[in-house]
Chain A
């Protein structure tokens, strides 16, 4: 059974660094074709893809966030991470992680429940 669960600080102040963890089970990030992505959704708004990391350690980032993103993984512990530097109120959103199987063309087939992050002074 595939599950993903996001965790984060809940609330942080502008200019701080946001650190998010995606803990998953039922698959491995060392398996060929597997990727984990981060997607966010401000309240009442649409979905924005942030970053992806794959089994062979390739990465993709949303250029709109201007080098503020760093994605990484810990294959042994079945976790993926996202750091966002210099946050501001516009980063307030629900943050999701999701799995992809690129070799089968399956994108974001399993999602976590999401974690709410609020940036406020």
Chain B
């Protein structure tokens, strides 16, 4: 199985500051088609997860441009510029290169 390892945030994050969440995969998620099969989700308190980023850097429909994804085949970063109250929750990275689909353990963002 591909293991996804997420980094922690130095919580709480001051409102208006930027925050970066890291994720590392145990195997390259770069497909032969040139796409990197890495997603980012946000789960706000009491809600279902929401897709933020797919293919490592493509924002999902309706997602604020304050969210951006970047990385290589095994090391990834989700950057949130100018953190707002609505960004509070747990962020998950997930690979969909192969079965079983695997998630990181989650990174909690708290607001100051």
Contact = CB atoms under 8 A, between A and B. Distances in A.
B88 interface: no
A13 B48 CA distance: 26
A119 to B, nearest CB: 21
Interface residues of B, number: 26
A47 B103 contact: yes
Task: Classify chain A's interface size.
Answer: 20 to 34
Given A49-B103, A105-B37, A111 B49 contact: yes
A67 interface: no
B48 A49 contact: no
Max chain A CB contacts within 10 Å: which of B43, B51, B101? Answer: B101
B92 A47 contact: yes
The prevalent SS among residues of A at the interface is strand
B106 interface: yes
Nearest to A107: B96
Max chain B CB contacts within 10 Å: which of A37, A61, A111? Answer: A111
9 contacts: A46-B92, A47-B41, A47-B103, A48-B103, A49-B100, A49-B101, A62-B99, A105-B96, A111-B48
Interface of B: 1, 35, 37, 39, 41, 43, 48-51, 54-55, 58, 60-61, 92, 94, 96, 99-106
